[in-house]
Homo-oligomer: A and B are copies of this chain.
Amino acid sequence: MIAQRGQLNAVGATVDQRSVPATDQRSVPEATVARLATYLRALIGLGEHGVATVSSESLATAAGVNSAKLRKDLSYLGSYGVRGVGYDVSVLTEQINKTLGLHQNRAVALIGLGHLGQALAGYAGFASRGFRIAALIDAHPALVGTRLHGLTVQHVDELADIVRRESIAIAVVAVPAAAAQDVCDRLVSAGVTSILNFAPTVLNVPSHVDVRKVDLAAELQILSFHDNRKSGRPECAGALGAEQSLAVPSTGKVAVVR
């Protein structure tokens, strides 16, 4: 399903001169997609340093993965490397851009302008990596109408209009957990098909809508788990100890890795 798209794509009619399934998004594994963004970042960095060609080995190092994985990942996009030489930085950059659908800046709506929302509104990384924040939305009367990073905050009741007017497909939700599902429902019925959720709650959406969540505290909790494990024995010091007291510290063993 989902065949290749005939990209109009301004910059040069670089259209596929290949007859092969270039940019065959059908089968790009999820894990690979998640890494493409990292590769893209690394490639852009290389390009800015004037590097014209890069081997899978060094690109992999720059992206923090091993080269076999990188090559397999890239192979899903088509065959853009040259054996014995490596990858052309600009070609590969363009190819990943295309695969990720970043050929044109995508309009994004940001809902919720608390501390986090305001920070996101000013985050330069969005603009520099293919996204344009096209609307700022909040429900708080004191915020609506104020200007922020060049945009006027609009009321959440106008959400549907805004989404349609600006052809917004992607929204960032940075409202309190209690309000998130409601905002989400409004977004979905307005036609948004992709949501990045910062609220610590599960969003229920119809199957044609994609949700990615960023749960900041959860990230720390995951680190905490590993840290707990690394630091060895001293676990539940207080509260519910009982069974733990007979740890075996004699060897003082610590987590040994590789």
A119 to B195: give the CA distance in the assembly, Å: 21
Could you tell me the distance between the alpha carbons of A227 and B15 in the complex, rounded to whole angstroms?
A: 15
A3-B252, A38-B202 given as contacts; is B220 within 8 A of A196 (CB)? yes
* Residues on B with beta carbons closer than 8 Å to the beta carbon of A200: 41, 125, 129
Number of copies: 2
Q: Is the pair B212, A126 in contact by a Cβ cutoff of 8 Å?
A: no
List residues of A (13-29) whose CB comes within 8 Å of B's CBs: 14-15, 17, 19-20, 22-23, 25-26, 28
Answer yes or no: A48 CB below 8 A from chain B CBs.
no
Q: With A and B bound together, what is the CA distance between A103 and B237 in angstroms? A: 8
The answer to whether A257 touches B220, judged by C-beta atoms less than 8 angstroms apart, is no
- Chain A, range 174-190, C-beta contacts under 8 Å to B: 190
CB closest residue in chain B, given A176: B124
* Cβ of A83 under 8 Å from chain B: no
Which chain A residues numbered 25 to 75 have a C-beta less than 8 Å away from chain B? 25-26, 28, 30-31, 33-34, 36-38, 40-42, 62-65
Residues of B within 8 A of A26 (CB): 229
Whole-angstrom distance between the Cβ of A231 and the nearest chain B Cβ: 7
Q: Does A5 contact B (CB under 8 A)?
A: yes
- Beta-carbon contacts under 8 Å, A187-222 to B: 190-191, 193-196, 200-202, 204, 206-208, 210, 212, 214-222
